[in-house]
Every structure is written in C-alpha cells, then in structure tokens.
Amino acid sequence: MARLRTFGIVAHIDAGKTTLTERILFDAGAQSWLGSVDDGTATMDWMPTERRRGISIAAAATRVDWGEHVLQVVDTPGHVDFVAEVERCLHVLDGVVVLVDGVRGVESQTEAVWQQAVARGLPRLLFVNKLDRAGADFAAVTAEVQERLECAPLPLVVPLRDGRGNFAGLGDACSGAVQWFEGRPDPADAPRLQQELLVAHERCVDAAAFADETILEDALAGRPVAADRLHAALRVQFRAGRIVPVLCGSALWNRGVDWLLDAVVRYLPGLDELPRRGLWSVADAGAAAAPFCGMVFKVQHHGEVWNFVRVVRGCVERGAEWCLGRAPQTRGRFGELWLVQADRHQVTERAMPGEIVVLPGESGLRTGDTVCDPRQPVELPMPEFPSPVLAVTFEPSRAEDAPALAAALRELEVDDPTLRVELDHDRIVVRGMGELHLDIVADLVRDRTEVPFQRSRPQVDRRETVRRSGSGEAEVRALVGGREAAAYCRLTIEPLAAGDAPAEVVDAAHAGAAVIDELRSRLRAGARVGPLVGARVAVVEVRAADGVGEALRQQAAAKALASALAAADLIELEPWVELELWCPEDAANAVLADLGARGASVSGVASGRLGARLQGRAPLARMLGYVTKLRSMTRGMGQVSLQPAGFAPARSARETGPPVPERAPRSR
C-alpha cells in the first residue's frame, strides 16, 4: 500500500491528457502500441462518441506498474460541460498532474481544475506539454503559472533547444542528467546549454536549502549535492505546499513521460502519508484489518453497470456482504471484483485499501454512495455537483417509442450526476450543463437505442429569488362531515445572506411533515419560471380544528406562501458565464462590439503571444451558438471558453435592482 500512487490527469481541453495517458500505458508496458486520439485508437477514449469527436467525455481509470510502484491513473475530460466527471474523480484521488499547453499557456479550464484541486488540498505536479510545437515558450508559461495559478513553480526538468531553436532534449535540474532526442547537439551550443541547466540546478538547491540547512552549507562550500538529497528536501517543501514541481516535454512524441512518472513516484503521497481529511478522515482509514468501507465515485452503463469504488479501509473479498452507509438496511454481496484498464478488466479475488475496483452488475448504487461492512456502517463525505443550466426537450418520432427513449435517458441520468430527466406528459425534458453536454447526451442515446427522436433547441434554466422580507397568512374553510372546518397558516420569507443555496423551510410552529413537504415542493417547482433560491421560509403559526385533515392545512400553507412571495417581490434569475476569449488583434474590435450587443461585461483586454485576450461575463442565453459566430468573425482563428458564473437578475429585473447570487446552486 505504501507503493501505491493514485492520481488524475487534469487540464483544459486539448492539452494532451489522453495522449499522455496513452504514453504512460506504453512506457509502463501495459500495452504494446501507442494509441492516438486523432486516429480513434486511444485506449482511454473507448466510447464510440469519444472516438468520433476526438475528445474525452467520461473519466477513464487504468492501472500500471512503474518499477516497484503501482500507479492508478485517471484520465479526466477537459471540457467544462463535464465538470461532474472531474469533480467526482478528484473526490477520491490522492494527487493530480496538471497539464499546461506549452504554446497556449494557462487557460480558463486549467485554472478551474487547479482551484478544484486546491480546494481539496490535493498535491499538484505540473507538466508543460507540446514543447515540440512552434511558439512553445517554457519560460513564459512558467511565469504565467506563477501569476495566474498563484503558486511557486520550480522546474525540475528543463527543455534544451539547439542553435536553431528546435526542441532537442531535456535536462534534469537535480541530477544533471540529459536526454537527447536526435543525436547530440552542436558543440558550439554546449556552453549555453550547460549554463541553462546550471541555473535550473541552483534554483533547486536554493529551494531545498529552506528544508535542509546542510544543503546550503554544502552549496556555499562548493561541494556537490546529490540528487537524492535534493529530492528529499524538495519533497518536504512540496508536501508543505511551498513549491509546485514543474516537468516538461511532448506527450505526442513520448518526450519526458518517464521523468514525469519518476516524479509521481517520488513526490506524490502513498496511502500511509495521506492527511486525515475527506475520505481519509474516517476512523482507521487505510487499515487493512479494519471493517471495510469504500466510496462509489462513478457509475457507468457499459453493457452492464460498472460501479467504480475506491477502497478506503479494510479488504473487499468476493462473496462478502455489504450495506449502504446512508441506508444500512439496503444490503448485497460482492460478486466479481475487477481491476480495470479503460473498458477492459481483469478479475481479482480481493482489493486492499486505496485500490480502485469495479463492482459489475446492477446493485442500485449511485455516485457518492458509501458501501461498507454491515457490522460497522459508516457514511463517507459525498461529492457535490453544480445544478444544470440548459434544458432541451426529447420527443420520439412514434408515441410507442417514448418508454424506450425515457429508459435510455434514465440510464444516462444514473451515469451523470449533473443530468436531470423529467417526464412532462408526452415530452421528456432533459437538463444539462451546456450545449456540448446535451449534444453528447443525444449521441449516447443514439448509440444505445435505435429509437428515432427529435430534440428542441436549448433553453436556459431559470431561477427565482426574493428582494426583501415578506409575510403572508391565509385561512381555508371547508365542510367536513357536514360541519364547517377551518385551517389557518402564517409564515414569513426573507432573503438569505448567501443567495446561492436552495430555499429552506424552518418549522417554528410544529406544522407537521405534510405541511412542510407541501411548502418544499412548491419552492422547488417555483412560482413562474423555476425553483426559488436564496431564501428562508419560516412557518410561524398553523391552526386547525380537531379532525381537520392534512389537505386543508396544506391548502392554507400554499396560499400563505403565495401571499408572502408577492410581498417579498419575487424576481427572475438567469444563468451567467465567465468568458475567456482569444482572437487575432485585427478582429478584437469586431469581437468587442459583438459581445457588447450580447449584453456581456468585458473586464479585461490584453495582448499576448497568441493575439488579443478578452475576459468578462455574459448572460448564458445570449451566448448560445456563439462559437460559430466567433469563428466567422475571426476567420476560424478565435477560441472561447465559458465557465458557469452563477445566476443574476434577468434583464427586466437588473434595471430595478442589484444582482444577487454570484454562484450557481449546488446539489448533492
């Protein structure tokens, strides 16, 4: 278990995550070929939709040996629409390798996944990729990492370029070892390359000296410092969060991947070194002799259901009984246990703490469930996911196909915690995180069923909130058993200080479960356009004569709520996005004008190596289909990345009041 390393590869879309994972599989001897994303032969992108589109959609796990160590690697998607895949994987990982494009530098989704890792306290290694490409600049990217990611990057590996500027080799800043790719460089370049490597070595010595004073003494005395001593001291600095080791290379050409894996083994923590937080805060975490518990961090339909589990403590053995942590009365038995490599598997008889295994078969498990020993039930902390912001309608071409279409979508809803499927008479409403997300859902439905269907254009999901406090009361009368009976309800509503949470109901009047459930149901449904957020409803008084049924109490509560909402000035909210856009300098004015027409607020315009960089915020409804428009304005050279930025009052509401929530509601 001390030799186990479990990490994810995260980055902006098209930074080379899957290509890097394919090279890891090859270098570790797990496969004898180099899979290609472009050719559709990548092992980790096994879904037909992924191979057609050339992008990762679902996180894929694999397991390889590197020397005496076992590496569990998770390749994650880079597009923001698949945030759930990244979030649920980070929830169970022990560290991450963050890829940065050596040409494009730090991009918006790189920042987003970096912050996700920071929030979880995950150790982070950084790999600057694509240094073989024209325009790659390792020094500039490292400086950008320091500025935008607010960390202290320390290059452990540096690129070596020949006299023509070509990427010719890599140098190890700690040991001085050098890898040349195509013969040795021109002797005239040797002094320059030696000086570059010496400067990188001195930076490592300076950083290590903060953890080990003897290293500083040896350096001042002119004595060489062994690489092992440097790594030991730098690991102390790394584990304390004072440095971020930076490695580099080209995943496409398999340059620098071996040194990256050496760094993973050397720097990322083993199971016995993990801090006691998150999953590992449970008693006896990592102990093989303790009662079993594990986290179901991913469920995926792949012919049959694959339930991915990270074992937190104890041993999982075939035939052992398990129960759900949140519902100990729900029980089952482990059938086969699988160790997986993307869509392939190997049967194992047992799994130890820290290992990732798949429990095949429909067990009713869902993402975030804890499976544990029935003798000692425990519930591990669950991951949280953002709420969907776009909705489309799926309609089968033939009415008799509606059940099959709904069943396929329900399967996808189980697989994807950010997908919502609702039946509305003969229509099926599907809510997701973005246009690409909903396009992929449609592709997956076509792959899984032959049912013909039509899909509507996306519409933004809206919310409601209140501007001010309000109160309402109502009395309802009815004949009950020939006698007039009455029920009375009084309640208040007020905005919450943090307007990003679902509305909550506080029962101060012992109103009863039926009344509270009625109020919660109405708040989730919304008065006009969507659920109420950022508000607290307090039930102050409920009165009813003896013998009055719950239905009358519920009617009184519903009328009182409607009165309170009217008094509290109900307003409509719409989703906004943060945008980061690159375009040629000569197209910047046209792009700015178009963004202004869409109601965007541009907060920054800067010039860089790749042209003009624009940052700002915009209403999501005005940005649907924007990529096509941008490419038209920039001759196909513009790129944009959109990140969820919460909800703000819709246009009519913004004219009369300030924006409220800054972040989208999150649901478990």
Per-residue pLDDT tens for 316-352? 999 899 999 999 999 999 988 999 887 788 899 899 9
Q: 3-class DSSP state for residue 45?
A: coil
Beta bridge partners of residue 317, listed in sequence order? 350
pLDDT at res. 546: 67
d(CA 354, CA 372): 14
Bridge partners, residue 172, by sequence: 157
Using alpha carbons, list the distances in angstroms from residue 161 to 51, 138, 255: 34, 11, 13
Of 539, 529, 517, give the one whose Cα is nearest residue 471. Answer: 539
pLDDT above 50: residue 662: no
- pLDDT value for 472: 93
Confidence of residue 661 (pLDDT cuts 50, 70, 90): very low
CA distance 173 to 153: 13
Least confident of 139-153, 201-215, 433-447, 542-556: 542-556
Mean pLDDT score, 627-648: 87
Strands lying side by side in the sheet with 178-180 = 157-161, 167-172, 178-180
Residue 7 parent element (H or E): strand 4-10
According to the model, what pLDDT value does residue 155 have? 97
Give me the mean pLDDT over the 437-461 stretch: 90
Here the tokens at position 61 are: 């796990």
3-state SS assignment for residue 322: strand
Q: What tokens appear for 174 in the block?
A: 């700690």
Banded pLDDT at 172 (limits 50, 70, 90): very high
Q: Which residue has the tokens 């409601």?
A: 464
Q: Closest by alpha carbon to 108, among 151, 78, 141?
A: 78
Return left, alpha or beta for 341; rule: phi > 0 is left, psi -120 to 50 is alpha, else beta: beta
pLDDT at 47 over 70: yes
Instruction: Say which DSSP state 185 is in.
Output: P
- What per-residue confidence (pLDDT) applies to 663? 39
pLDDT (0 to 100) of residue 164: 86
Q: Are 113 and 86 in contact (CB under 8 A)?
A: yes
What value does the mean pLDDT of the chain take? 88
Amino acid at 300: Q
> Phi-psi bin for 354: left (phi > 0), alpha (psi -120 to 50), beta?
left
Q: What's the average model confidence in pLDDT over 532-560?
A: 86
3-state DSSP assignment of residue 561: helix
Whole-angstrom Cα distance, residue 343 to residue 488? 59
Q: Is the pLDDT of residue 358 over 50?
A: yes
The pLDDT of 453-476, averaged and rounded, is 91
Least confident of 39-43, 89-93, 317-321, 438-442: 39-43
Q: Provide the pLDDT for residue 129.
A: 97
Task: Specify the pLDDT at position 664.
Answer: 38
CA distance 189 to 187: 5
CB 409 within 8 A of CB 423: no
Task: Name every residue whose Cβ is closer than 8 Å to that of residue 634 and which is 6 or more positions away in sequence.
Answer: 583, 584, 587, 591
- In this predicted structure, the answer to whether residue 468 has a pLDDT above a threshold of 50 is yes
| Beta-carbon contacts of residue 312 (< 8 Å; ≥ 6 apart) | 279, 280, 282, 285, 286, 293, 294, 295, 353, 380
Question: Is residue 547 predicted with pLDDT exceeding 80?
Answer: no
Q: Which pLDDT does position 5 carry in this prediction?
A: 95
- What number of other Cβ atoms are within 10 A of residue 336's Cβ? 14
Give, as one character, the DSSP assignment of residue 490. E
The whole-angstrom separation of Cα 97 and Cα 112 is 14
Cβ atoms 489, 515 nearer than 8 A: yes
pLDDT at 207 exceeding the cut of 90:
yes
- Give the start-end residues of each E strand in 13-166: 60-66, 69-75, 96-101, 124-129, 153-155, 157-161
Please determine, for residue 499, whether its predicted confidence score (pLDDT) is greater than 70.
Answer: no
Over residues 657-665, the mean pLDDT reads 38
Look up the pTM and report it.
0.85
pLDDT band of residue 658 (cuts 50, 70, 90) is very low
pLDDT value of position 101: 95
Query: Does the pLDDT value for residue 467 go beyond 50?
Result: yes
Exposure string of 457-492, with b = 16+ CB inside 10 Å and e = fewer, is: ebebbbbbbbbeebbbbbebeeeeeeeebebbbbbb
**First-residue to last-residue Cα distance in the chain:** 31
pLDDT score for 559: 94
User: Mean pLDDT across the stretch 165-169?
Assistant: 91
Neighbours of 450 (CB within 10 A): 8
DSSP 383: P
Residue 10's DSSP bridge partners are 98
- For a pLDDT cut of 70, what percent of the chain falls above it? 96
427-432 and 337-341 strand pairing = unpaired
pLDDT value for 502: 82
Which tens digit of pLDDT belongs to each residue from 114-152? 999 999 999 999 999 999 999 899 999 999 999 999 999
**Tokens of residue 633, six digits:** 């304005």
The 3-state secondary structure of 386-405 reads ECCCEEEEEEECCHHHHHHH
- DSSP secondary structure letter of residue 484: E
In which band, very low, low, confident or very high, does the pLDDT at 511 lie, cut at 50, 70 and 90?
Answer: confident
Q: Residues for the chain: how many in total?
A: 668
Residue with tokens 């001085």: 176
What pLDDT sits at residue 344? 83
Higher per-residue pLDDT: 40 or 284: 284
Place of tokens 């991009």: 107
**pLDDT attached to residue 652:** 57
More confident: 292 or 49: 292
Give the largest Cα separation in the chain, rounded: 108
The angle at the Cα of 62, spanning 172 to 291, to the nearest 5 degrees, equals 110
Tokens matching residue 91: 């929830």
Q: Mean pLDDT throughout 355-377? A: 92
Q: Please say whether the beta carbons of 493 and 506 come within 8 A.
A: no
**Dihedral-angle region of residue 249 (phi above 0 means left; psi in -120 to 50 means alpha; beta otherwise):** left
The answer to whether the beta carbons of residues 315 and 273 sit under 8 Å apart is no
Question: Mean pLDDT over residues 215-238, rounded?
Answer: 93
Binning the chain into helix, strand and coil, the percentages to the nearest 5 are 30, 35, 35
What single-letter DSSP state applies at residue 281? G
List CB contacts of 420: < 8 A, sequence separation 6 or more.
388, 413, 430, 431, 432
> Could you give the domains of the chain?
4-152+243-273 (3.40.50.300), 290-372 (2.40.30.10), 387-461 (3.30.70.870), 464-568 (3.30.230.10), 573-667 (3.30.70.240)
List the beta bridge partners of residue 489: 474, 542
Provide mean pLDDT across the span 4-30.
Answer: 91
User: What is the arithmetic mean of pLDDT over 511-532?
Assistant: 86
CA–CA dist 513, 587 (Å, integer): 60
Q: Where are the alpha helices (DSSP H) in 542-649?
A: 550-567, 588-597, 626-633
Percent of the chain with pLDDT over 90: 55
pLDDT: which is higher, 628 or 264: 264
Closest to 190 (Cα-Cα) out of 153, 166, 219, 161 = 161
